[in-house]
Amino acid sequence: MFTGLIMDIGTVRKVEKPADTRFTIETNFDMSGVDIGASIACSGTCLTVVEKGQGWFSADVSGETIACTTLGAWQAGRRINLEPSLRLGAELGGHLVQGHVDGVAKVVDRHPEGDSLRFEFAAPRELSRYIARKGSVALDGVSLTVNEVEGNRFGVNIIPHTAQQTTFGLLKAGDEVNLEVDLLARYVARLQSDITEA
């Protein structure tokens, strides 16, 4: 479980594809305190540390994860958002994020709005029902509040701090991001569906 508050911007050092894909990622995390088997959200995707060293770790990724996320396009040099898993008793400053990516959203527009950046995204149509104005989403692992929704498009506002401390400062129109809809929205929709069918 994660909060959507990014702790580091890492860099993909190496991509290997012997069977499943293995990513080696450079980080500023103190890896001596991270166990083999620990979870790290990598641009919103929960990955398991299978190997590590000073300033780096490796994670294996299945074909299913590659198919449902942006990870299939990752190459050496790619900058990614990193967040270690939530520890019991830690402050929950964002919202509950599982690291289970629901789909891929595309940047439709990016423009300045005061000192901030306003982004418009297009979500997969089957996921748009879970996105609500003033609700939460995780985009590339970043916990964000939805400003407006129209059809399958939605907007978010990125303050300067977020642009500097995450990969949002690098995003442009046409880029794709990992989208995780709000956990509560998903369960409410399921309950409504069950009630309707009953």
Alpha-carbon distance of 161 to 116, in angstroms, equals 9
Report the SS3 class of residue 163: helix
Q: Are 25 and 80 in contact (CB under 8 A)?
A: yes
- The total of other beta-carbon atoms located within 10 Å of residue 16's CB is 12
Supply the pTM of this predicted model.
0.91
pLDDT in the model for residue 198: 57
**Structural domain boundaries in the chain:** 8-84, 103-197
Task: Return the CATH class of domain 8-84.
Answer: mainly beta
- 8-84 and 103-197, same CATH topology: yes
pLDDT in the model for residue 194: 60
CATH of 103-197, one of 3.30.1360.70, 1.10.10.10, 1.10.540.10, 2.40.30.20: 2.40.30.20
Q: Are 3 and 83 in contact (CB under 8 A)?
A: yes
Segment 93-151, tens digit of pLDDT? 667 888 999 999 999 999 999 999 999 999 999 999 999 999 999 999 999 999 999 99
Segment 78-94, tens digit of pLDDT? 999 999 997 765 666 66
Percentage of the chain exceeding pLDDT 90: 81
